Amino acid sequence: MSEMSKVTYRIRRYDPNRDTAPHYETYTIDYTPGLTVLEGLWLIKETLAPDLVWRASCRMGVCGSCGMLINGMARLACNTQISDLGTDQLVLAPLPNFNIIRDLVPDLMPMLSTHQDLHPYVVRDDVAEQEEPTGEYYQSIHDLEQYLQFSYCIKCGCCMAACPTVATDPTYAGPMPLGQVQRYNTDTRDGGFEVRKEAIAGERGPWRCHYAGECSRVCPKGVDPAKAIQLLKRQMVLDVFGLRAKKCPSKLVGKPKDAKRRNGIPEAPKPTV
C-alpha cells in the first residue's frame, strides 16, 4: 500500500428510534501517522457525523469499553493503529453476539450479569476479617503466577464476540465469565470452588467449549480464556473423582513492615493459542 493520506471508514449504523434495520455509511478522513481507529471515529464525529455513537473512556486499553468489529476481527478501537491494519479501507460494526443499543454500542449486560452470577470475587467464611481487616491473606509469588494472566481481563467482550459457541448457544456462559471462574478458583486466598461449581452446572458451564481458541486469539490483554476454560474442565473432572487438590483458603499474616515493598511480581505468560 502506498503512503496513506486518507482513510475510509464504512460504519454500520443503527438508531432504534429512527431506523427499521441497520445500514452502512461511508466517511473519509485525513490520515496522519499514529492515528488509531478510535481517534478516527472522533474526527468523523467532529466533522462528518455528529450523531455517530460508540463507547470509549480510557483511550489506553484499560477500561474495556471500545470493543468493536474492525475489518472482521473483534478489537479495541483505542488499541488499534490504522497503519497496522494494512489498508486504508476500514469496516466497523458492533461486537457480534450482543444486542445492539445503537451504532457501535453493544449491550454487554448479559455477559456482565452472567459474570456476576458466577461469584467473581474471593469467597471465604471469615466475613468479619474481610469487613475489618487485621492483616493480609498470605500468597506467595508462585501462587500469584497461577492466576495472574487471567486477572488481566478488562471485560471488553471481544472474546464473547469471537466465540462460535456463544454465537450458537445462548445458554453458554462464554469465555469471559468462565475465564474469571478459573481466575478465582485458582486464587489461594479463595474457598469458593463449590459455590462456583453449582453456578456453572449444566449447559452454562465449560463443557460446551470446543476449544476453538478464537477467544484467546482476539483477546487484547493476553488473558487466554481458552486455556483457563480447559484448566477449569480439568479441575472439575478431578473433583468428580475426588482427586482435586483441596486448597484451604490461605491464612492471615501480619501486615508487612514496609507495605510498599513488592519486588519480583512476574510478567504474565504468553497466550498458548
- Rule CB under 6 A: which residues touch ligand FES? 56-59, 61-66, 76, 78
Give the nearer residue to ligand SF4 in terms of CB position, either 78 or 158. 158
Applying CB under 6 A, does 231 fall inside the site for ligand SF4?
no
Give least dist CB 65 to ligand FES, A: 5
Give least dist CB 7 to ligand FES, A: 19
89-93: strand order across its sheet:
23-30, 6-13, 89-93, 67-70, 73-76
Give least dist CB 11 to ligand FES, A: 17
Give least dist CB 158 to ligand FES, A: 10
Give the nearer residue to ligand FES in terms of CB position, either 36 or 250. 36
Give least dist CB 199 to ligand FES, A: 28
Give the nearer residue to ligand FES in terms of CB position, either 55 or 204. 55
**How would you write the chain as a 3-class SS string?**
CCCCCEEEEEEEECCCCCCCCCEEEEEEEECCCCCEHHHHHHHHHHHCCCCCCCCCCCCCCCCCCCEEEECCEEEECCCCEHHHHCCCEEEEECCCCCCEEECCEECCHHHHHHHHHCCCCCCCCCHHHHHCCCCEECCCHHHHHCCHHHHHCCCCCHHHHHCHHHHHCCCCCCHHHHHHHHHHHCCCCCCCHHHHHHHCCHHHCHHHCCCCCHHHHHCCCCCCHHHHHHHHHHHHHHHHCCCCCCCCCCCEECCCCCCCCCCCCCCCCCCCC
Residue 221 interacts, among ligand FES, ligand SF4, none and using kind-specific CB cut-offs from 5 to 8 Å, with ligand SF4
Residue 56 interacts, among ligand SF4, ligand FES, none and using kind-specific CB cut-offs from 5 to 8 Å, with ligand FES
End-to-end CA distance of the chain: 29
Q: Which of residues 107-166 bind ligand SF4 (CB under 6 A)?
A: 153-159, 162-165
Give the nearer residue to ligand FES in terms of CB position, either 39 or 117. 39
Interface map 31-60 toward ligand SF4 (x if CB under 6 A): ------------------------------
Residue 200 interacts, among ligand SF4, ligand FES, none and using kind-specific CB cut-offs from 5 to 8 Å, with none
Give least dist CB 267 to ligand SF4, A: 17
223: amino acid identity, one letter: V
Interface with ligand SF4 (CB under 6 A):
153-159, 162-165, 175-176, 179, 209-215, 219, 221, 223, 225-226, 229
